[in-house]
Structure 1
Amino acid sequence: MEYYLTALRKYAVFSGRARRKEYWYFVLFNFLISFGLGIIDMVLGLAGEGSGFGVLGAIYALAVLVPGIAATVRRLHDTGRSGWWILIGFIPLVGTIVLIIFLVAGSESGQNQFDAA
């Protein structure tokens, strides 16, 4: 939970680095919270009929959009890549797979062009 809160505290910090643990715990907690909110939306009847999205889930998704992008950019910095590599995710299938490989890759040890280790 500490890593999730750390990512939220760095709300719009696109500089620096994010270790693998910090990034993937943030992703895990986002998934769990989104799943829980989805269930609450369905129980309360707040989910849209065709879309499956609910009001609570949509509000949460908007709230963590910027921290999610910032954490991804910092994670890419930790692997020695520019944050602009996040845009490769827009290429269907292949881009997403390449981005996931970059995010799973090990950290660049020592100091790199983005920050000290």
Structure 2
Amino acid sequence: MRMINAYTNTIFNNYFRFDGRMARAEFWWFTLCNFLIIFAFVILAGIFGAFAAGEHSLFSSFVILIYALYMLAILLPSLGAQARRLHDVDLSAWLLLLNLIPYIGAIALTIIYIFPAKTGGAKYGPYHDSLAY
């Protein structure tokens, strides 16, 4: 699966979806694409002085506004992708609450996201191989 396909599939087809599974490759392609978009916003904001003390340009304020709207729009698909990835490892989505523990929670979840999918058990849906993408 290509990065753009994983991103558009997660955003447009699975926006409110928290059930089922998400393959490891699809999850990491979506995460990489999301990171690159956020990185582009930060670079644009830095170029136009959005983070500098003093006066801000109108364009830098516009970039910050678009960035904030993007972060709000991507919140549910990101949580859904994380929940489906946890289901693919045969864990409950309640583990997303680990994100509330500063640093340690995010590190623990990142390690869990690296685990391969559990082939047995259809508790969260049928198994599909990441290599098929």
TM-score range, shorter chain: 0.7 to 0.9
Question: Whole-Å Cα distance in 1 between the matches of residues 47 and 73 of structure 2?
Answer: 22
**Which amino acid is the alignment partner of residue 31 of structure 1?**
F
Q: Secondary structure at the match of 2:122?
A: coil
Question: Whole-Å Cα distance in 1 between the matches of residues 35 and 97 of structure 2?
Answer: 21
The number of equivalent residue pairs is 114
Task: Give matches, 1:41-52, under 5 Å.
Answer: 41-45=45-49, 47-49=50-52
The runs of 5 or more residues in structure 1 that have no matched partner are: none
The structure number with the bigger radius of gyration is 2
Question: Whole-Å Cα distance in 1 between the matches of residues 15 and 5 of structure 2?
Answer: 14
Aligned-residue offset at 1:48: 4.8
Aligned-residue offset at 1:94: 2.3
Superposed CA offset, 1:81-112 (max 9, x none)? 01111101211232222111111111011443
The runs of 5 or more residues in structure 2 that have no matched partner are: 54-62, 128-133
Structural RMSD (CA): 1.8
Aligned-pair identity in percent equals 35
Question: Whole-Å Cα distance in 1 between the matches of residues 48 and 69 of structure 2?
Answer: 15
Aligned-residue offset at 1:8: 0.5
Q: For 1:21, which of 15, 18, 25 is the aligned residue?
A: 25
Task: Give matches, 1:1-117, under 5 Å.
Answer: 1-9=4-12, 10-45=14-49, 47-49=50-52, 54-117=64-127
Question: Whole-Å Cα distance in 2 between the matches of residues 48 and 32 of structure 1?
Answer: 19
Q: Identify if the C-alpha distance between structure 1 residues 94 and 43 changes in structure 2 by more than 3 Å, giving closer, same or farther.
A: closer
In the alignment, is the contact (CA less than 8 A) between 2:45 and 2:51 conserved in 1? no
Question: Whole-Å Cα distance in 2 between the matches of residues 42 and 88 of structure 1?
Answer: 31
